[in-house]
Chain A
Amino acid sequence: MNWFTMIKQQWRQRWRLPEVRLMLLALALSVTAVTAVGFVTDRIIFAMMGQATELQGGDLVLTSARPPDPGYLQKAQSMGLATATVTQFPSMVVASEKLQLAQVKVVSSNYPLKGALKIRSQSTNVSSAVGSGPAVGNAWVDPRLSASLDLLPGNVVELGKNVLNIDAIVTQMPDQGVNAFQFAPVIVINEHDLEATGLLTAASRARFLFLFAGEPETIERYTSWLKAQLKVTERIRTLEDGMPAVQQALERAQGFLGLAALLSVILAGAAIALTSHSLGKREAKSIAILKTLGATQKELLWRLGQSQMLLVAAASLIGIFAGFLIQFLLGFFIRQWIQTELPLPGITPALVGIGTAFIMTLGFSTPFLFRQISTAPMNVLQDRPVKHTVAGRVTILSALGGVYLLMWLQSHDLKLSLIILVATVIAIGLFTLTAIILLRLLKYIARRYRNTRHLLPADNARFILLLVIFGTGFFSLLHLTSLRTDLIQRWSDSLPTNAPNHFLVNIQPEERETFSGFAVNKQISADLYPMTRGRLVAINANSVGPDDYTDDRAKRLLEREFNLSSTARLSNSNKIVAGQWFSADTRSGLSVEEDIAKTLGFGLGDRLQFDIAGQRITEQVTSIRKVRWDSMEPNFFVITAPGLLEDLPKTFITSIYIPTDRHGLIPQLIDEFPGVTVIDISAIMQQVRGMIDKASLAVQSVFSMTLIAGLLVLYAALQSQRRSRQKEIAILKSLGARKRQIRTMLIFEFSILGGLSGLVAAIFSIALSNYLAWFLFEMEPAFNPGLIAFGSVAGAVLVGAAGYLNVRPLLRVPPILLLNQSAR
Chain B
Amino acid sequence: MLELERVVKHYHEAEEEVRAVDGVSLKIESGELVALYGPSGSGKTTLLLLIAALLKPDEGVIRYAGRDLSSLSQREASEYLLHDVGFIFQNFHLMPKVSALENAARKLLLGGSGMRQAQARAIPWLERVGLGDRMRHAPEKLSGGERQRVAIARALAGEPDLILADEPTGNLDSARSREIIELLHTIAHERGACVLLVTHDEDAAAIADRRCVLRDGRLLESSTGGDAREPSASAVVAGEDRVEAS
Is the A/B pair a real complex? no
